[in-house]
Chains A and B, each alone.
Chain A
C-alpha cells in the first residue's frame, strides 16, 4: 500500500443559515485507504461526504483531491468529479435507461469511449457486482440490492480513483445488505480508496483501515477499528456504540 495522500481536508465549515452542520473538519486520506464514518444522524457525516465532490458547497475551508483544490472556483469540478465515484443511499439509477446504458452513459459522453468498448467494459463491471445477466433489464425490474450494485458498477465505469459511499445499505431490505457489502469488500481488497458513511458496524470493523466518529459537526474520535470499537475514549463514542451494538 502506498502512502501518498489522496485527500486533504482543512478546517471545513458548512452552515445552513444559522445551523452549523460542520464546524472545522480536518482529514487526510491516503491512497488505498478505506475510511468508515460513523455517528448519530444529524452529526454531519453525510454533509461532509457530499462536500467532498461539491454536491454541497462548503462555507469555508479547503478540500484537496489529487492536488486539485476543489474549493477554488477556478477548478473545473466536472473534471474532478470524473475521478470521484459516488454511491447514494437511494441508488439514483436513471429509470429511463437500461442497466447497461446507465453504466455506459458517462464514459461514452465524457471520455469519448466508443460504444462497443464501453459496453464490453460495462459487462466486466456487472460481472464484478454479480449482475452480468441483468445488462438489458430496466432499473424498475431490479430489487433494491441489485439496483445498488448497478449503481456501484456505474460509478466504477468512470474508473475513479476514489469512491464515496453515502449510507449505501440504509435503504435496503436486510437480506439484500450482504450482497452489496460483499461487492464493497471486493473493491477494498482491490486497493480502491474508499470513504464510507455507514451504520453497518460489522463492515466498519472488518474492512475499514480507519474509523471516524462524527458528533455535532466535528470529528470526535478517530482510530483503527480496534481502537474505536474495543476501546473508545470519548463518552459520546461509548454512548453511540452502546446504542447501535446492543440492540
Chain B
C-alpha cells in the first residue's frame, strides 16, 4: 500500500510539474504597455523572410517585419515574434495567445467580424501565372483547365469569383511553393496568386510567367482579436503615418519591390547541394539542435509518463489500471497533430492563458509517445512468467516488492527493444510539430524551400539529416542490446 501511495504521489507530482511548466509561462501582463507578442507567418517573401534562427531578428526580414521594426522604434514599444502557420495564427489570435498577427493578412468584411485591423500598408492584387512555356495568355484561355488557389488568400477569392465566367477547375493548396511547383511540373495549368509574392519568386528563380494584370486588390494589415488591443492599433497607426510621411516607408518597399530592388537571386552555385548547405548552414544547425532538444526532452518526459502508466496498469484492483488504460486509449487514439493543436491552440481558450510553444511541443510528445510506452511497459510486465510472481509471493514478498525486485528487472529486459524503437519513432514524430510552428528540421525545410524553390534538393538534405540521426541511434541500440546479452 505504501508503494501504491508513492506511485500516486509521483503521478500527482508529474502532473503538477507539467502544469507548472504549462501555466507558469512568463506572463506579459506586467509590462503589457510596452512589449507585444506578435505572431508572424513562416517565410512569405517578400512580406516576411525568416532569418537563420527561424525568427525575425535581423535586418531585411521582409517589408512587413521591417515596417513593424521601424514603427516599434519610433513609437517606443518592444515586441517578441512567434512563428506559426497562417491558420494557426488566426486561431492563436482568437485564443489570445498573441497580441497581434502579421502574415500578409487581407482585410475582409468577414474577418472584420472577429478581428480589428490596423491601417493598411499595402494593397495586394491577384494575378494569373503560368509555366514559362505555357500557351495560356490570359484568363480567357482557361476553359477546362485546372487552376491552383491558395486557401484564404486574395488570389483564391478572386479565382472563385471568376471561376464560372472562365470555366476552369480549381485545386486548393495551403502553401504557395507546392502550388507553383505543381504549375511548373504540369500537374495544374495555372495559378492565381498574390502579385508581389509571385514576382518576387520569379525574380528568385521560380520558372513561371505572369499572364495578367493585378485584379481585385485588397488592403493588407496587422490583425488583433476584436476589442482586445486598441492600444497596439493606435501606436501602429501613428507610427505608420510617420513612416509614410518621412519617406522611410518607400525606402523599405523599394528594397524589395520594383526596379530599385537590391535583392539578389541565388546564383547557380548557391543552388548546388553543397551551396544550399553552405548558405543555410545556420538554419540547418539550429533546426537539427531544435529537433534533438525536443526529441531528448520529449523522450524523457514520455518515458516517465509511460512508465507510470505501465506500472499503474498492473496494479491490483480496478481504479489504477482503469485510469491507466483510459489514458492510453485516449492519447494513443488521437492523431498527434490534433493533440498538438488541442494543447497549443485549444487549451488556452479554456485556461485563458498562453502556453509556450516549447511546453506545448513537449507535453504533446509526453502524452502521445508516453501512451505507447505505457502500453508496452504494461505488456512487458505482463509477459513475465506467472511462476515468477508465484515464487516471489510465496517467499512472503508483498505485491509491490515482488514487482520491483523480481518482475520489473525481467520486464525491463523484455521492453528494451520497444523502448529503442519508440525513441526512433519519437524523433520522426517531432516533424509533426512543424504544424504548430516549431522550427525543427521539417519546418526549416519548408522555410528554406519557400526562399529558393529547390524542393528536391532541400528535402533530400533534410531526409539525409534525419537518416543520420536515426542511424546513429540504431547503432547505439545495437550496442545496448549486445551489452545486455
Decide if B247 is an interface residue (CB 8 Å cutoff): no
Query: Could you tell me if A96 and B410 are in contact, using CB atoms closer than 8 angstroms?
Result: yes
Query: Could you tell me if B387 and A158 are in contact, using CB atoms closer than 8 angstroms?
Result: no
Q: Quick one: which of A84, A92, A158 contacts B391, CB cutoff 8 A? A: A92
Q: State in angstroms the CA–CA spacing of A84 and B398 once bound together.
A: 14
Chain B nearest CB: distance from A47 CB in Å? 13
Decide if A205 is an interface residue (CB 8 Å cutoff): no
Q: Quick one: CB contact mask for A112-154 with B, threshold 8 Å, 1 for yes?
A: 0000000000000000000000000000000000000001001
Task: Give A94's nearest chain B residue, CB to CB.
Answer: B406
Chain A nearest CB: distance from B137 CB in Å? 78
Decide if B114 is an interface residue (CB 8 Å cutoff): no
Chain B nearest CB: distance from A196 CB in Å? 15
Q: State in angstroms the CA–CA spacing of A40 and B64 once bound together.
A: 89
Q: Quick one: which of A81, A82, A90, A154 contacts B387, CB cutoff 8 A? A: A90
Q: State in angstroms the CA–CA spacing of A55 and B395 once bound together.
A: 11
Decide if B203 is an interface residue (CB 8 Å cutoff): no
Q: State in angstroms the CA–CA spacing of A106 and B406 once bound together.
A: 11
Q: Which residues in B have their C-beta under 8 angstroms from that of A78? A: 393, 396-398
Q: Quick one: which of B395, B410, B413 contacts A81, CB cutoff 8 A? A: B395
Query: Could you tell me if B394 and A86 are in contact, using CB atoms closer than 8 angstroms?
Result: yes
> Given that A92-B388, A94-B388 are contacting pairs, would A53 and B405 also be in contact in the complex, using a CB cutoff of 8 Å?
no
* A interface residues (Cβ-Cβ under 8 A, vs B): 53, 55, 78-79, 81-82, 84-86, 88, 90, 92-96, 105-106, 109-110, 151, 154-155, 158
Q: Which residues in A have their C-beta under 8 angstroms from that of B258? A: none
Query: Could you tell me if B390 and A82 are in contact, using CB atoms closer than 8 angstroms?
Result: no
Q: Quick one: CB contact mask for B155-190 with A, threshold 8 Å, 1 for yes?
A: 000000000000000000000000000000000000
Decide if B112 is an interface residue (CB 8 Å cutoff): no
Chain A nearest CB: distance from B390 CB in Å? 6
Chain B nearest CB: distance from A6 CB in Å? 17
> Given that A105-B405, A109-B405 are contacting pairs, would A92 and B387 also be in contact in the complex, using a CB cutoff of 8 Å?
yes
Q: Which residues in A have their C-beta under 8 angstroms from that of B413? A: 96
Chain B nearest CB: distance from A199 CB in Å? 19
> Given that A105-B405, A109-B405 are contacting pairs, would A94 and B391 also be in contact in the complex, using a CB cutoff of 8 Å?
yes
- Residue of B392, B395, B398, B401 ringed by the most chain A CB atoms within 10 A: B395
A-B contact pairs, 9 of them (CB 8 A): A55-B390, A81-B393, A82-B396, A86-B391, A88-B387, A96-B413, A109-B405, A110-B395, A155-B395
Q: Quick one: which of B392, B396, B405, B410 contacts A79, CB cutoff 8 A? A: B396
Chain B nearest CB: distance from A62 CB in Å? 20
Task: Give A86's nearest chain B residue, CB to CB.
Answer: B394
Query: Could you tell me if A110 and B397 are in contact, using CB atoms closer than 8 angstroms?
Result: yes
Q: Quick one: CB contact mask for B425-447 with A, threshold 8 Å, 1 for yes?
A: 00000000000000000000000
Task: Give A90's nearest chain B residue, CB to CB.
Answer: B387
Q: Which residues in B have their C-beta under 8 angstroms from that of A53? A: 394
Chain A nearest CB: distance from B391 CB in Å? 4
Residues from 373 to 428 in B contacting A, C-beta threshold 8 Å: 385, 387-388, 390-398, 401, 405-406, 409-410, 413
Query: Could you tell me if A158 and B395 are in contact, using CB atoms closer than 8 angstroms?
Result: yes
Q: Which residues in B have their C-beta under 8 angstroms from that of A94? A: 388, 391-392, 406, 410
Q: Which residues in A have their C-beta under 8 angstroms from that of B387? A: 88, 90, 92
Q: State in angstroms the CA–CA spacing of A81 and B389 once bound together.
A: 14
Q: Quick one: which of B385, B388, B397, B410 contacts A106, CB cutoff 8 A? A: B397
Task: Give B387's nearest chain A residue, CB to CB.
Answer: A92
Q: Which residues in B have their C-beta under 8 angstroms from that of A82? A: 395-396
Chain A nearest CB: distance from B241 CB in Å? 76
Count residues of chain B with CB under 8 A from any CB of chain A: 18
Query: Could you tell me if A106 and B393 are in contact, using CB atoms closer than 8 angstroms?
Result: no
Query: Could you tell me if B395 and A154 are in contact, using CB atoms closer than 8 angstroms?
Result: yes
Chain B nearest CB: distance from A37 CB in Å? 18
List 4 tightest A-B contacts by C-beta distance, closest first: A82-B396, A92-B391, A86-B394, A92-B387
Q: Which residues in B have their C-beta under 8 angstroms from that of A86? A: 390-391, 394
Q: State in angstroms the CA–CA spacing of A78 and B396 once bound together.
A: 4
Chain B nearest CB: distance from A186 CB in Å? 21
Q: Which residues in A have their C-beta under 8 angstroms from that of B398? A: 78
Q: State in angstroms the CA–CA spacing of A52 and B388 once bound together.
A: 18
> Given that A78-B398, A88-B387, A94-B388 are contacting pairs, would A55 and B410 also be in contact in the complex, using a CB cutoff of 8 Å?
no
Query: Could you tell me if B410 and A158 are in contact, using CB atoms closer than 8 angstroms?
Result: no
Q: State in angstroms the CA–CA spacing of A158 and B405 once bound together.
A: 16
Q: State in angstroms the CA–CA spacing of A95 and B406 once bound together.
A: 9
Q: Which residues in A have their C-beta under 8 angstroms from that of B388? A: 92, 94
Query: Could you tell me if B395 and A95 are in contact, using CB atoms closer than 8 angstroms?
Result: no
Chain B nearest CB: distance from A50 CB in Å? 8
Q: State in angstroms the CA–CA spacing of A85 and B396 once bound together.
A: 9
Chain A nearest CB: distance from B50 CB in Å? 52
Chain B nearest CB: distance from A94 CB in Å? 6
Query: Could you tell me if B394 and A81 are in contact, using CB atoms closer than 8 angstroms?
Result: yes
Task: Give B408's nearest chain A residue, CB to CB.
Answer: A96
Q: State in angstroms the CA–CA spacing of A212 and B390 once bound together.
A: 25
Q: Which residues in A have their C-beta under 8 angstroms from that of B397? A: 78, 106, 109-110
Query: Could you tell me if B410 and A95 are in contact, using CB atoms closer than 8 angstroms?
Result: yes
Query: Could you tell me if A55 and B393 are in contact, using CB atoms closer than 8 angstroms?
Result: yes
Q: Which residues in B have their C-beta under 8 angstroms from that of A110? A: 395-397, 401
Q: Quick one: which of B392, B394, B405, B409 contacts A84, CB cutoff 8 A? A: B394
Chain B nearest CB: distance from A110 CB in Å? 5
Q: Which residues in B have their C-beta under 8 angstroms from that of A151? A: 391
Query: Could you tell me if B390 and A96 are in contact, using CB atoms closer than 8 angstroms?
Result: no
Knowing that A86-B390, A151-B391, A158-B395 touch, tell me 5 more A-B residue pairs with CB under 8 angstroms.
Answer: A53-B394, A78-B397, A88-B390, A106-B396, A109-B405
Chain B nearest CB: distance from A11 CB in Å? 24
Q: Which residues in A have their C-beta under 8 angstroms from that of B410? A: 94-96
Chain A nearest CB: distance from B381 CB in Å? 14
Task: Give A157's nearest chain B residue, CB to CB.
Answer: B395
Query: Could you tell me if B396 and A81 are in contact, using CB atoms closer than 8 angstroms?
Result: yes
